[in-house]
Amino acid sequence: MKLQKELRGWLLASPYLLTAVLFFLIPLGWSLSLVLFDWNLIAPVRIYVGLGNFQEALRSTRVLHAFVNTYKFMAAIVPAVVVVSLGLALIVHHLPRLKWFYAVGFFLPYLASGVAISLVVRGVLSYDSAFNAFLRATFGSAPRWLREPAWATLVISAMIVWKLSGYYALIFLAGLQNIPRELYEAAALDGAGALTQFGKITLPLLYPAFYTVLILAVGLCFGIFTEPYVLTGGGPRFATYTWQLEIYYQAFERFRAGYGATVAVLNALATFVSVLIIRRLVESWGVRKGFR
């Protein structure tokens, strides 16, 4: 019976395990095998370069731009997406009826194609668009949305926040629904107002949701690709250049598979270290505040 239960468990888990092997472990192993070689994806022979790819990547200004820009995006996206998603969750949570309808509506942008959204935004922000024509007619000028580094970074960050806020709001909504109503009723009897209840009850009990959303948002900032690829190509002046753009450029435009795999490994290391540091900081803060 024990053997049958174990076999049944492995059988149920087999689709996920097979997917992980095919689309994660095998590509990961292949990528790690490429970092020591110079190969163009076509030649039958790989040229061994040792750690040359790492030395080149660590001296590359393109990689440096990708590294710095990731933290710029993180500084813009993470606080905004936490605030917006929490606000959406609070709105839906306090609706008297049709909560599911509005929750699904806020979640829909997460399912939309990033390419389609980027093309729409590019059309809206183009020089001849009705939106920019209105700004010029009203204020005398319009920002060069995708041609100025600050504006381009802001536009891409806003797109990502808009796309992800509905998804993260569901995480906060689940946390809000698990908070017992008795706590708010007791606090109200003691004279606590809405702001006091929010600060003393809602926020502390939402710590697990905050923890999850924060880690997910930080990890996402290291995988930004579609929006800058479609809108700016990494410009202007490398202001929106990301790790994924550099990997794509080296591996599939210059056909330097070994160097592209090296950049991917460095991206993975930067992601792991950054998420680990953020995780430790959030956990230590939670322990000090008594949230965990």
Domain for residue 86, yes or no? yes
The confidence score (pLDDT) of residue 243 equals 95
Domain for residue 279, yes or no? yes
The confidence score (pLDDT) of residue 292 equals 64
Domain for residue 107, yes or no? yes
How many independent structural domains does the chain possess? Answer: 1
Domain for residue 28, yes or no? no
Domain for residue 71, yes or no? yes
Domain at 276, CATH number: 1.10.3720.10
Domain for residue 205, yes or no? yes
The confidence score (pLDDT) of residue 184 equals 85
Domain for residue 151, yes or no? yes
Please enumerate, as own/partner, the contacts of 222-229 that have beta carbons within 8 Å and a separation of 24 or more. 222/70, 222/267, 222/270, 222/271, 222/274, 224/70, 224/73, 224/156, 224/160, 226/114, 226/115, 226/118, 227/114, 227/117, 227/118, 227/156, 227/159, 227/160, 228/156
pTM of the model: 0.88
CA distance 37 to 53: 8
Could you read off the pLDDT of 25-38 as tens digits, one per residue? 888 888 888 899 99
DSSP letter at 147? T
**List of the chain residues with pLDDT < 70:** 289, 291-292
Q: Which domain holds residue 229?
A: 57-289
